[in-house]
Structure 1
Amino acid sequence: MVLQRDEPIFVQGTATPGDKVSVAFHLSSVSCKVNEKGCWQVRLPAEKAGGPYLLAVWTEEETLSFKNVLVGDVWFASGQSNMEHPIEGWEWLPNSSIYRCEEELVDSDYPEIRLFTVPKYPASIEVEEVPIKEWKIPEPESLRGFSSTAWFFAKALYKKLQVPVGIINCSWAGTSIKAWESKAVLNEFKDSLNFKGTPPIPDRDKVVEALRANQQRRCQISIPREGQVREIGLLPTVAWTPFDLKKIPASSEVFWLKKEIDLPERYAKEPLFLSLGLLNRQSIIYFNGREIGEYMYPEPAIALIPKSCICPGRNELLVRLAQPFGPPSVKGDKSLFFMSTRDAGFREDLSEGWSITVQDSILKPEAEYQNYPGALFNGMVHPCLEYNVKGVIWYQGENDVWKPELYAEMFRALILDWRKKWKKEDLPFLYVQISLLPEIDPEAGEPPYQLFREKQCVALPNTGMAYSLDIGDPYDVHPRNKKVVGERLAEQAFRIVYEIK
């Protein structure tokens, strides 16, 4: 692990009431008596950066030893999906790995950086400790599922400061700021949030099982079964139903759409340009059984059909349309649905003549609790408050863009509250500006993104914003160049916290 330098070191635990507990670390040792509730805590003097050291804890009956303990700077990384964004991406979201993923995993030999991930758990009441306490040394396997932003931030700090760095990843995709607020702050906004307390949440085992099931469900929605494309191609005509492309039923999360196209021989000897409007939200396009395009958000579904998969006569255009967060849909003006040669000498209208079928058995969704007000503060932040940290990095806001004014007030309140909870009035708090975001539904009107970005700016000391508008992706809410984000956060730390250039 890494312990925060230049600050008293608190060590706590449980033991038999009345027992004497002794703790030794580096050149210091201290003892205490276990209270009547079986709890104990000691305070060791502050240490300069260094190590590795041994931390020993013992009573007359038992001794625990923690080896390879470093002293340096510890940062707390929190927020929603863009902070969680793993280096290798999400299993359920194809093509979501960061840029140059394998190259970055190879560059992982930094044994003085240590990684900790807070287990996901929303809770109705404040939790005192996390169930799994495991610090990891960076290597490809430990980094694949770790926060990319947090990793690049930690690596940039280490390279410049040359002191051990601990990074605690406490994030959860798709979460609102209200889930990260304490009860005290939520009470301040109870009228705006209609807050009447955090609703009951099942015990940890049930929540973890629900998370596992929902992840499996998302994988089913996002990824076709092996061999399924061939199965779909062999379905009899009676399995398909003619339909209007703009009227996708709401009866399933996954649909297969098919259109047969007759091509004259003279147009089957060169690549063809394909346009299918906007396919919301995850879609894969196949031509004669071969994948030619994959789209994660309602971006323009544009592809080039290689001449190697084009046949004279009958050709089959197949689309797997999926949406993990509601019914799928097809958007766009009729003029956006066509196939043509590059010179437009041939152009085929694709806005009509489609058939639809459902051939995916998707698990039913389990209940989710992560967006209950206060649930993530209770279950994930609160148990970390006794661990001294140098500062916080924060990447969140996409879930709250529709209420920029309220977010501004709640964000400011969160910073002040976390400082109070960590007992550090000047706790550095560095955050990322939300970048370009996709229009989830072009017909619903454009969310007030720019106003939201303005409201993100907080006039509080020891805060700094990493600019990201220039590195976003208008068709992906999760920009994949997280290295730039992490390094810009580090630049804010050098300027505000360490006061170095």
Structure 2
Amino acid sequence: MKIPSAILVALSLTAVASADVVLAPLFTDHGVLQRDQAVPVWGTADAGEAVTVSFAGQSVSTTADEAGKWRVDLAAMPVNATGQTLTVNGHNTLTLTDILVGDVWLCGGQSNMEWPLRNTTDADTAIPSANFPLIRHIKIERRIARDPLTTATGSWTVCSPETVPHFTAVGYYFARQLHAELGVPIGLVNSNWGGTPAEAWLPPAALEDLDILLAATSHQAYSYTGIHANLVNYQEKLAAWEADPENVEKPSMPWRPGAENHSLVLNNGMIAPLAPYGLKGVIWYQGEANADQPETYRTLFGAVIESWRDQFEQPELPFYWVQLANWQPGGIGWAFLREAQTQTLELPHTGQVVINDVGDPDDIHPRNKTAVGDRLARVALRRLHGFDIEDTGPTFASAILRDATIELSFTHAAGLHTTDGAAPKGFQVAGADGVFHPATAALTPNGTIKVTSDAVSIAHFVRYAWDGHLEVNLVNGDDLPAAPFRTDRL
């Protein structure tokens, strides 16, 4: 039987009328909204659908555009540690419960940021004591995408001994310290993926800049050239093993990158759906996957920072990161990557923590994440909240050459000492030939360090902690470690 066209039109209008309004992925029960700044709330609905968002005495209305997208901005709100209800009314009604107002931090990077609390040195004591209902955490599910997405999977979780083992460890220790000092709710948005390079976290717009595009493609090409060489080497070793399995050890297949290592795909899948959620700042732990070509990292990392600021519509969004830890297999490439990280401090509203004293020379995933989170919290407390504390370890300031001796001065060096009471370690000296040799260092009464090497009669250059791993012990009065440096490029 043919259905009359009038009935088809009526059915079509009914379908449109029953379509659901949908919220962006970070808006779920138990969430945290950013205090003291306008709060974007957005989602999708039918084109032309009227949408009203109500929260904390505010009620803001808008109409979905032709693409079905809508957004309102709630006026800035003070801290509120009492869970409130957020409602969205369109053709349907959405009700979110237990929504707090505090500080929200995006935790980005690769595996050392992703590393869960349950696998850290202090887990046995940290987990049972994690009764912090005002700390909230959302883990964004891994997802790659060719084009920017609007959806993502994850839900806010209230911190407790039962839930905290799965939190980002660095993020948790950071949040715990901030919450202890500020007394405000803290939200952690855990969006990261192990083994991924910086360029995977760039949005498409970033590659419109030729310098950034060249850096990204250069690193990708360099990485795949190395991977090809590794695979050829593996084939040769495998053939030798197959020919003589009793006397030749069977080789292991070398690491190969997955689709998640390509430019843009992680930003498209795991950052784009989150923006422009209101944030207090970003903490970042990444760089291992770019250490094979550190010369491109300054450009790529800076582009990540600037492009995320654009995406979240916060041009002064604080961005604090962790310098790579000590790891023996990293070799000197890690030293140059750390240098690129330090150079990125030229961007405003940035900060860096040094952890060359708490890494593991044999493990790319050091288990002491407590110090990492606490040091990041120090940076935030000093730079955002005005705490009168030190957040930086001894930092090279100047060098005076006196024949075989180089005398070094530092900033952030009040209470300069060594952790074990021994002479400072980790220094190298070179003559005019640029060949570096292990050096002997000594603290002076006036707070400088004198460095010499028996192999160098006229010293020209000095380096400190300049390798994947060199044993170091130099700290300031707050036990913050000295940052790696070199004078052969100054």
What TM-score bracket applies, with the shorter chain setting the length? 0.5 to 0.7
Verify the 8 A CA contact 1:463 1:496 in the aligned structure 2. no
In structure 1, the partner of 2:429 is none
Verify the 8 A CA contact 1:195 1:373 in the aligned structure 2. no
In structure 2, the partner of 1:156 is 177
In structure 2, the partner of 1:387 is 277
Alignment of 1:103-142 (within 5 A): 103-130=125-152, 132-142=153-163
- State the 1:133 CA deviation: 4.0
In structure 1, the partner of 2:249 is 248
Identify which of 19, 43, 56 aligns with 1:13: 43
Q: 1:36 to 1:461 in 2, by over 3 A?
A: closer
- SS state at 2:379 partner: helix
- State the 1:194 CA deviation: 3.2
In structure 2, the partner of 1:451 is 336
Letter in 1 for 2:349: N
- SS state at 1:12 partner: strand
Letter in 1 for 2:249: I
Alignment of 1:286-435 (within 5 A): 325-326=254-255, 368-435=258-325
Alignment of 1:61-100 (within 5 A): 61-88=91-118, 97-100=119-122
Verify the 8 A CA contact 1:190 1:196 in the aligned structure 2. no
Q: Percent identity?
A: 35
Question: Does 2:205 match 1:184?
Answer: yes
In structure 2, the partner of 1:42 is 72
- State the 1:63 CA deviation: 1.9
Letter in 1 for 2:246: F
Q: Counterparts of 1:137 and 1:371 in 2: how far apart (Å)? A: 32
Q: 1:58 to 1:487 in 2, by over 3 A?
A: same
Identify which of 306, 313, 329 aligns with 1:439: 329
- SS state at 1:439 partner: helix
Verify the 8 A CA contact 2:170 2:370 in the aligned structure 1. yes
Verify the 8 A CA contact 1:178 1:186 in the aligned structure 2. no
Q: Counterparts of 2:365 and 2:218 in 1: how far apart (Å)? A: 30
- State the 1:417 CA deviation: 1.8
Q: Counterparts of 1:484 and 1:196 in 2: how far apart (Å)? A: 31
Q: Counterparts of 1:389 and 1:164 in 2: how far apart (Å)? A: 13
Q: 1:386 to 1:129 in 2, by over 3 A?
A: farther
Alignment of 1:206-217 (within 5 A): none
Q: 1:403 to 1:424 in 2, by over 3 A?
A: same
In structure 2, the partner of 1:471 is 358
Question: Does 2:79 match 1:28?
Answer: no
Verify the 8 A CA contact 1:75 1:168 in the aligned structure 2. yes
In structure 1, the partner of 2:86 is 55
Verify the 8 A CA contact 1:402 1:447 in the aligned structure 2. no
TM-score, with length taken from structure 2: 0.64
Letter in 2 for 1:44: L
Q: 1:456 to 1:196 in 2, by over 3 A?
A: closer
Verify the 8 A CA contact 2:219 2:293 in the aligned structure 1. no
Letter in 2 for 1:178: E
- SS state at 1:497 partner: helix
Letter in 2 for 1:146: F
Q: 1:127 to 1:195 in 2, by over 3 A?
A: farther
- State the 1:242 CA deviation: 6.6
Letter in 2 for 1:191: L
Verify the 8 A CA contact 1:121 1:379 in the aligned structure 2. yes
Gaps in structure 1 of 5+ consecutive residues: 89-96, 198-240, 254-324, 327-364, 441-445
Question: Deviations along 1:426-482, whole A, 9 cap, x unmatched?
Answer: 110000010111317xxxxx3422222122112122111011001111001001010
Let me know the Cα RMSD of the aligned residues.
Answer: 2.3
- State the 1:116 CA deviation: 0.8
Letter in 1 for 2:217: N
In structure 1, the partner of 2:348 is 461
In structure 2, the partner of 1:483 is 370
Q: 1:13 to 1:418 in 2, by over 3 A?
A: closer
Verify the 8 A CA contact 2:285 2:322 in the aligned structure 1. yes
Letter in 1 for 2:358: I
Q: Counterparts of 2:218 and 2:151 in 1: how far apart (Å)? A: 26
Verify the 8 A CA contact 1:49 1:71 in the aligned structure 2. yes
Letter in 1 for 2:98: N
- State the 1:101 CA deviation: 1.4
Q: How many aligned positions are there?
A: 331
Structure showing greater relative contact order (alpha-carbon pairs closer than 8 Å, 6 or more residues apart):
1
Verify the 8 A CA contact 1:462 1:497 in the aligned structure 2. no
Verify the 8 A CA contact 2:283 2:321 in the aligned structure 1. yes
Letter in 2 for 1:119: E
Q: 1:53 to 1:373 in 2, by over 3 A?
A: same
Question: Deviations along 1:325-362, whole A, 9 cap, x unmatched?
Answer: 55xxxxxxxxxxxxxxxxxxxxxxxxxxxxxxxxxxxx
Verify the 8 A CA contact 1:10 1:43 in the aligned structure 2. yes
Q: Counterparts of 1:15 and 1:408 in 2: how far apart (Å)? A: 41
Letter in 2 for 1:56: T
Q: Counterparts of 1:184 and 1:108 in 2: how far apart (Å)? A: 40
Letter in 2 for 1:470: D
- SS state at 1:136 partner: strand
Q: Counterparts of 2:218 and 2:272 in 1: how far apart (Å)? A: 20
TM-score, with length taken from structure 1: 0.63
Q: 1:242 to 1:22 in 2, by over 3 A?
A: closer
Letter in 1 for 2:366: P
Letter in 1 for 2:214: D
Q: Counterparts of 1:492 and 1:49 in 2: how far apart (Å)? A: 21
Verify the 8 A CA contact 2:216 2:296 in the aligned structure 1. no
Letter in 2 for 1:474: P
